[in-house]
Amino acid sequence: MKRMFLFLLTNMAVLAVISIVMKIFGFDGYMYERGLDYKALAVFSILWGSVGSFISLAISKWMAKRSMGVELIENPSNEKEMWLIDTVKRQAATAGIGMPEVGIFNSASPNAFATGMNRNNALVAVSTGLLDNMKREEVEAVLGHEISHVANGDMITMTLLQGILNAFVIFFSRVIGYAMSAAMRNDRSGGGYGIGQFIGTMIAQIVLGFLAAIIINKFSRYREFHADMGGAKLSSNQNMINALKALQRASHPEKLEGEFAAFGISGGKSKLRSLFSTHPPLEDRIEALERNQYV
């Protein structure tokens, strides 16, 4: 499963690059010339926080195709690929979204993910392991799960939430960096934007970035239940349950990396890593479907 770690990593990298560029060109320093200008910092944080998250979203399909080796199905070469295209097309029409690009990536682990800039310009990709090891009705439910992520607007919602959190990270990391620098100088009246303050800001940005990741992942886990319900409606409740049980039976399923984990299909069980998990435990998702019967 592969969509959140990479999304968060990409987002943090974008923020780091923005911070370095602002430092090099001196744009960051004007807020500290006469003490910290909180109003200017707030505007700066909102602007660049939003830019960082939307850049991550804008390049998500490009990253998916290259980092995972996704091969798009443009001209189906066999019956399996034709069935895959027809199923996605039918589900997309039912869900009221534009036809996504459909691709396959080479992985023995059964998995899938969806990503893209908006609901009418998305990518749905499945692994070779999913197609080879799961029944078609189970694959149909998995595809419905991914189509539901797209139809629910989870990608843009995640980006907006990330933008808000980015703004908080940028704002408070600079406040912390300024306070640390002022405390070291024992002078809170000003003093410019030096290398010590920059390092303090970057450290605070990394720490706060991980805290923001916990919030993002909690939201991702919440949206997984809705995508499961959507998959049940586009296929059937039993098909969705069977698909999740098939994932349970898979021994040590390979995790999708970052940018694609949030909108993937499988889920982890590790208690120690639950705060950073993008998906609820599979048993919890199965139980939720068993309580709410969708035909």
SS3 labels along 136-182: HHHHHHHHHHHHHHHHCCHHHHHHHHHHHHHHHHHHHHHHHHHHHHH
Residue 146 among the catalytic residues: yes
Q: From residue 163, how far is each of 6, 71, 80, 108, 285 by CA, in Å?
A: 16, 30, 39, 35, 28
CA dist., res. 217 & res. 114, Å (int): 16
- DSSP sequence for 66-112: HHTTPEE-SS--SHHHHHHHHHHHHHHHHHT-PPPEEEEE--SS--E
CA-nearest of 193, 162, 156, 166 to 178 is: 193
> Which tokens hold the place of 280?
């609820």
Length of the chain: 295
* Helix 136-151 / helix 154-185 crossing angle, nearest 10 deg: 60
Task: Please identify which of the residues 101, 138, 146, 224 carries the catalytic annotation.
Answer: 146
Residues 264, 113 contacting (CB under 8 angstroms): yes
- DSSP sequence for 219-272: HHHHHHHHHHHHHHHHS-HHHHHHHHHHHHHSSSPPPPPGGGTTTBS-----ST
> Which tokens hold the place of 281?
């435990």
CA dist., res. 10 & res. 224, Å (int): 22
CA-nearest of 258, 276, 260 to 154 is: 260
Active-site positions?
Answer: 146
